[in-house]
């Protein structure tokens, strides 16, 4: 008897559809508050999807279609991530006002949940390198529960 392999169907969303929502519609609706709301939204998503390690951060970013996330540098109270990939490059080339506040908020909250310290993150766009740096900083003296 032949054993049937169960095939998983994973629907895909065209990149253009995602861009319409993320980079065109949301900024139109949210107006000048878009960066702050996206940052807060990233923190909210992080609470719903708590991760345990940097490897899990990278996997989540890939699965979410946010790009390839790597750790570029790590210091005592700071971690610098680099975000790359075709999706990041496309967003950078199409929209001059593109931001990665959602991703920054997500990482800030993940680190805050793990380190139990107040953590903030900022995105730095590097169009020339077609990448984004997200720098997360935490304060070990400012504990959270």
Average pLDDT score over the chain: 90
75 occurs within a structural domain: yes
The pLDDT value recorded for residue 14 is 76
Count of domains for the chain? 1
Structure tokens given for 43: 């923190």
The domain that contains 124 carries what CATH number?
3.30.1380.20
Contacts made by residues 32-36, CB under 8 angstroms, sequence distance 24+:
34/99, 34/101, 35/99, 35/101, 36/101
Q: For 111-132, how does the pLDDT look when each residue is reduced to its tens digit (9 = 90+)?
A: 999 999 999 999 999 988 999 9
Task: Report the pLDDT value the prediction gives residue 16, as an integer from 0 to 100.
Answer: 84
Cβ atoms within 10 Å of 35's Cβ, excluding its own: 18
Determine the structural domain holding residue 64 and report its residue range: 15-143
Q: Is residue 135 part of a domain?
A: yes
48: left (phi over 0), alpha (psi -120 to 50) or beta: alpha
Does the residue 8 lie in any domain? no
Which token pair is 19?
Answer: 């861009």
Give which of 91, 41, 85 is closest to 67, Cα–Cα.
85
Q: Is the pLDDT confidence value at 64 over 80?
A: yes
For residue 6, is it within any domain? Answer: no
pLDDT digit string, tens, across residues 30-61:
999 999 999 999 999 999 999 999 899 999 99
């Amino acid at each position: 008897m032949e054993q049937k392999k169960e095939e998983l169907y994973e629907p895909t969303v065209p990149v253009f559809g995602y861009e319409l929502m993320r980079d065109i519609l949301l900024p139109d609706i949210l107006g000048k508050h878009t960066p702050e709301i996206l940052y807060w939204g990233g923190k909210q998503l992080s609470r719903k999807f708590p991760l345990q390690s940097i490897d899990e951060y990278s996997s989540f970013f890939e699965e979410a279609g946010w790009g390839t996330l790597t750790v570029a540098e790590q210091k005592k109270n700071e971690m610098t991530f680099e975000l790359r990939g075709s999706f990041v490059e496309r967003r950078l080339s199409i929209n001059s006002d593109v931001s990665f506040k959602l991703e920054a908020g997500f990482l800030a909250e993940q680190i805050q949940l793990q380190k139990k310290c107040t953590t903030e993150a900022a995105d730095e766009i590097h169009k020339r390198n077609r990448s984004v740096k997200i720098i997360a900083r935490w304060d070990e003296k400012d504990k959270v529960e």
